[in-house]
A and B are shown apart, each in its own frame.
Chain A
Amino acid sequence: MSVDADRVREVFLDALERPPDARAAYVREACAGDEDLRAEVASLLAHHRESALIDEGESRSVLASALTQFEPSASAPIAVSEPPSGARYRTLRELGAGGMGVVVKSFDRSLCRVVATKTPHGGGSQASSSLQWSALLHEARLLAYLDHPGVVRVYDLRADENGLSYTMQLLDGESLAARLATLRGEGRPMPVSEVVRITTRVCEVLANAHAKGVLHLDVKPDNVMLEPFGHVSVIDWGMARFHDPAPYRAQLALAGEVMLDEHLGGVSGGTPVYMPPEQFDPDAELGPAADVYAVGAMLYELLTGRAPFATGEGAPLLLFAKHSGARPVREERPEVSERLGALCGRMLAPDPADRPASVHDVLEELAALTDIGAGAAHVRLAPGEVLFEQGAASTTAYQVVSGELEIVDDDVVVATRHAGDVVGELAMLSRTRRSATVRAKAATVLRAIDWAALEDELSRVDPLVAHLLRKLSDKLIETTSQS
């Protein structure tokens, strides 16, 4: 065929700009007697389709997928359209659109449950770019890799005639930020036990991620979800990146795969108020200490009701403030125990080396906060054995766990003590010598608490209680030394 290809294209496209019933006449006129040209254009026009809809016979063909994927999607908002009958997921409603894509609530017909489905902007197939594709793909793969109860579960990743999408667990509940706002509105602080519980859950999620070589890098109250029955999830891993790709490599190596993208999107940034100073530097090597800082900033806000550094400041001022250190928690909320306040302060250290080395260390410290009596040692006495002699120096008080003690003054038994009773406390607190001898009447087990263990206990209680006890002890020492 000796027709001019450019001319064919030109006449074809011009004809399409005319109403369908006027096209044949136009082509005849434009071709001016060139019968080959006219036949070629007419044949192409016969195969033109106005819509993106696919003919019955084409629907199985490789061409169909090639053609439909190229159609602009502006006319059809993808996510809320009804999928073909028989599809596994039925869209219920749109939940929201974020930076990475659109999330809809859908119903899984096979397992009869409600799930969340995420597709790129503009739908998974049509106008979405390969960049959006890979972002969504990496997000789904990262969530699947993290695989932890505190991270949204990915159920299924699909590419079908509706495009690329993945389904995941639908989270129910409110964000920690919303909870804080409610408390603020009511003028109440969050109970310390609840603060410790939520922080512990968040640290557990991060401990799993860090062990797998992944940093979250955007921990903040907006990204913590509080679900019914006390469940806590950490969401929005869009900023996450590998600080140690080795565990992921090892997992992929099992399947003979190699690492896809160690940058995991490579988005740098974060939320300045919660960001550690080192994260302000785009070239800095970040480690788990970066997440420790963010959890510390969140812990501070949960305890005091406000972030450790003011949000109104510009980045340089904010950074300067972070390097100068936060106001101690106890100045904002006096009933926070010394130990919890100190932990929060260490987590907010401007130098990563001064923070707890890992979220594991933070978890241990949080667990220790509620380990009441952990500092007391056990002492066993045989019948007749002496616990202490009259006139001896005293640094320890004892509580009877089982058995029986006799208090002896000048060889006379003046009293007995049983399980739950305490002996030696006044001499310990007043730092005087023992006023009587104490011995076991039967085989006896005791808990012993010395000054160091007492201080350890006091660091975990309301500082007001600790203060009362210390003050009382000082007063006792003062009065007994005068007499």
Chain B
Amino acid sequence: MGEENGEADRGGVTRLLLRLRDGDPAAEAALAPIVYAELKRRAQHLMVREWNGHSMQATMLVNDAYMALVHADGIDWESRGHFYSVAARVMRRLLVDRARSRARDKRGGGVRPEPFDDASMVSLDRDDDVLRVNEALERLAAVNERHAEIVTLRFFGGLGMDEIAEALGVPKRSLERDWTFIKAWLRRELSSER
């Protein structure tokens, strides 16, 4: 997104969020590419190499994208939740695409790395982790779609407990129980002995 059309995108994204809130499913399909472009552009410029913890960086990226893309004044809580859900899914795809592309490159697949791969991005040395988590999430989604969604929102979108409850429209108490279950499930899936 260039600076000159930033304002146009802002208005556009805000309108798409309002359409999404009003139940227009096409709005999400229109929103995702804009968010993807913005997150990818931001990832290219992120200069916080020393930061640990990949979801922290992902969170920061998503936050900044939100600030850049949405008119904070004109938006309600629900639409804000929609944005973060979309951004979390986009972020997950971005990370997975990148990890795969780098893994291919390491195997000498002859694929030239994209220039932005040289810039520091989220999780520098954990491509394997990203892919493992992604596979675990795919398995989790097969068992329980909502559980996978919760992890995506938290991990890739940086949402807090209250915000996830809000975004998914579930009571917080029930979400906490889900999370207890998800944690055990993820630990088991990702434990090296398995």
Contacts and interface: CB of A to CB of B under 8 A. Distances in A.
Given A44-B184, A45-B184, A49-B187, A164 B160 contact: no
A46 B187 CA distance: 10
Interface stretch (B25-33, B60-68, B105-113): B60-68
Interface in A308-336: none
Contacts of B190: 61, 63
B186 interface: yes
B62 A62 contact: no
By CB atoms of chain B within 10 A, which of A43, A57, A58, A134 has the most? A134
Given A62-B129, A130-B63, A266 B72 contact: yes
Interface residues of B, number: 57
A131 to B, nearest CB: 8
A69 B57 CA distance: 13
B145 to A, nearest CB: 10
B1 A159 contact: no
Contact of A255 (B45, B48, B53): B45
Contacts of B14: none
Contacts of B183: 48-49, 67
Nearest to A55: B187
A147 interface: no
A16 interface: yes
B17 interface: no
Contact of A258 (B6, B162, B191): B6
Contacts of A5: 143-144
A438 to B, nearest CB: 70
Contacts of B53: 65, 69, 159-161
A61 B130 CA distance: 10
Contact of A134 (B67, B133, B184): B67
A143 interface: no
A158 B48 CA distance: 9
B67 A62 contact: no
Given A253-B3, A255-B45, A266-B73, A66 B56 contact: no
A160 B48 CA distance: 11
Nearest to A3: B143
B63 A133 contact: yes
Interface in B171-194: 176-181, 183-188, 190-192
Nearest to B130: A62
A467 interface: no
B70 to A, nearest CB: 10
A388 interface: no
A266 B71 CA distance: 11
Nearest to A68: B53
Nearest to A122: B160
B79 interface: no
Contacts of B179: 70
A133 B53 CA distance: 15
Interface in A31-81: 43-49, 57-58, 61-63, 65-67, 69-70, 72
A65 B188 contact: no
Contacts of B186: 63, 66-67
A342 to B, nearest CB: 40
A9 interface: yes
A127 B6 contact: no
A49 B187 CA distance: 9
B1 A258 contact: yes
A239 to B, nearest CB: 15
A66 B51 contact: no
A127 to B, nearest CB: 6
Contacts of A70: 154, 161, 179
Contacts of B56: 65, 69, 125, 159-160, 164
Contacts of B159: 129-130
Interface in A161-177: 161, 164
B44 to A, nearest CB: 8
A363 interface: no
Interface in A421-478: none
Contacts of A58: 187
By CB atoms of chain B within 10 A, which of A49, A127, A159, A253 has the most? A159
Nearest to B176: A72
Contacts of B144: 5, 9
A128 interface: yes
B184 to A, nearest CB: 4
B40 to A, nearest CB: 13
A16 B55 CA distance: 28
A242 to B, nearest CB: 13
A130 B84 contact: yes
Contacts of A65: 52-56
A49 to B, nearest CB: 7
B133 A66 contact: yes
Given A43-B188, A69-B154, 11 more contacts: A5-B144, A12-B181, A13-B181, A63-B129, A63-B187, A130-B84, A134-B66, A158-B51, A159-B51, A161-B52, A261-B72
Closest 4 A/B residue pairs (Cβ): A62-B129, A65-B53, A47-B187, A159-B56
Interface of A: 5, 9, 12-13, 16, 43-49, 57-58, 61-63, 65-67, 69-70, 72, 125, 127-130, 133-134, 137-138, 158-161, 164, 249, 253, 255-261, 263, 266
9 contacts: A9-B178, A62-B132, A63-B186, A63-B190, A130-B62, A159-B57, A160-B51, A260-B67, A266-B72
